[in-house]
Every structure is written in C-alpha cells, then in structure tokens.
Amino acid sequence: MPLEKYQYVSNVWRDGIFDNKVVFCTGGAGTICSAQVRAMVHLGANACIIGRNVEKTENMAKDIETARKGSKVIGIGAVDVRKPEALVAAAERCAKELGSIDFVIAGAAGNFLAPMDQISANAMKSVIDIDVLGSYNTVKATLPYLIESAQKHKTDGKTQPPNGTGGRIIFVSATLHYAGTPMQGHVSVAKAGVDAMAMSVCIEQGPKGITSNVIAPGPIADTEGVARLSQSEAREKSEKAIPSGRYGTVKEIADATVYLFSDTGNYVNGEVLVVDGGQWHTSRISSGSWEYPDFLLSGSSVTGVAGGKTSKL
C-alpha cells in the first residue's frame, strides 16, 4: 500500500522536478535511505537501490515504486559495497536499464555499540571498510556517469536549468564525531573519514560540475538505528535533551535531500547539512543505564540493545 506523501516528503516541492532523472543509492533498503529515494521517485525520478539482502532490497524497490505511477525502481541485492567490482556492475546495470545516473546517495553503513577496548581489529576494520571504503567505491563506480550528467545539466544560478539538475552526490554521515560519543569511536572515525571524502570530491570534481555534500542525521524516530542502538526506557529522556524537543522524521532527511539535489542546492558544495534538531549541541555523554564514566570503567559489555557488540565481529 502506498504511503501518504507527507510521510516521506513535504508538500512544498513541485511534482516533476526530477523528471527523467535517475538516483543511485547504496543502503537503499534502510529506513532513512529508502525515504530519500522515495521522495525523489515521487518527484519524478527513477531509481536503483543497492543492498546486501536480496529479498529486502527487491521488496523495498517494489514498495518505493508505489510513490509514483509509472516509476521504475530497480533493487539490486547481494552487493557488498566493500567490493568495487560489485558496485561497478550495479552502476553499469543502472545506467543501462534506466538511461543515466544523475544523483548518488552513499548511504551504506555499519554500527554497533562497544567501547574501544572491546572492539576487535576486525570489527574496527569492518565498520571503516563499509562506511569509508564503501563510499569511496560508490564514488568511483558512479563518477563517470555523474560527470556526464553534470555536463548535461549545467546551472548558472541566473536562469532556470532547462533540463533540471544532475551530477550530484550526497554522503549520509552522522554527528557522533563532532563532540565525541562513548561506545561509538569506530563509527566516529569512519564518519569523519566520509566527511573528509565528501570535501575532497567537492574540491576535485567541482570544476567538472559535480556537487558533493553531506547530510548528517541526528536521532530519527522509527528507524533501525534508533531501535538497535538505544534503550527504549532512555528515549523519552534523550528526546527532552534535544533543543527541538523531539526525534526527527525520515521525511525531514528526505526534504534535505531534495533541497541539495534540486535547483535550490545549485550553489551548495562541500558542505555538511546537519538535520538533528540541534541535538549534537546538547548531547549528553550518559544514556540510560550507561552512566559516564562508571559504565566504561566497569569493563561491562553493552546489553539491552540489538546493536551491541557481537562475537562474530
């Protein structure tokens, strides 16, 4: 059943602004990235979403297609973003079947809760490989198509682009590394690398017409991340600590995406757009029963959440 439009994109955007455009998204079956893609599809784009789980990715592609009659969304599962050849093949299929790649969302990520002294070298490497190397592989695989799109859809800020916009990439990051976050050192390191990569893409590829920006979501309600990485009894308390007084919604991340990809984002390049209700400015270093520094000094493992450290990592 199709979702109500306001669940994933605001009514301020005009239908059709992404007509005949194609968005390529890694991590596209996730709650945040799927909303970003759904908004783009509703506003005229076709899409290709990439994921590791075949069934989940293909089913999400079919679900996103309901956002607009006549849309086409390809779901490509069994793709590990750490393997460049897999992303090259996915990008080639996307461009061949849908005609181009105009927008890219690098959203694949990995996370769990654990202090640094409990993280194995393999676990650290795994998170960095998924977030940083995965984003790099995504850029490498799609950059030729983005450059081609950017040349076709040049903007000067003075006249409305006759063929719309193109040649733009968004990296999905986080705010964890701004002030430091206990039990998230591995992800903080990875996301700092993603932010740096986005700036390098801006500097090096901007002269070719590419825009490269970061969206850094804060705590977003009803997402896998919040469900896996926070204790339910602590969520009400943490909401009160956010200046806006609530968790965000996936629609608000999708709106930020439309802003950066559309005509409104023409002159925004190399920037980090934080969408967190001001949360990182007032973030606390204690959450639920993990009181700082007592919990870290105890040597205990994180319990009570789905996203704690597991032995396989």
Q: Which of 72, 58, 64 is nearest to 38 (CA)?
A: 64
Task: Identify whether 191 is a catalytic site residue.
Answer: yes
Q: Which of 311, 207, 221, 233 is nearest to 275 (CA)?
A: 221
Beta bridge pairs of residue 105: 25, 170
* Close Cβ partners of 234 (under 8 Å, ≥ 6 residues apart): 287, 288, 289
Q: Are 98 and 74 in contact (CB under 8 A)?
A: yes
Q: Which one from 100, 126, 173, 212 is the annotated catalytic residue?
A: 173
Q: Are 46 and 73 in contact (CB under 8 A)?
A: yes
Most distant CA atoms of the chain, gap in Å: 62
Residue-wise burial string across 201-238, b where 16 or more C-beta atoms lie within 10 A, e elsewhere: bbeebeeebbbbbbbbbbbbeebebbeebbbeebbeeb
Interatomic CA distance for residues 198 and 260, integer angstroms? 14
Q: Which one from 191, 230, 251, 283 is the annotated catalytic residue?
A: 191
Task: Identify whether 173 is a catalytic site residue.
Answer: yes
- Could you give the count of Cα atoms lying within 13 Å of 29 in the half-sphere of its Cβ? 19
Active site positions, annotated? 173, 191
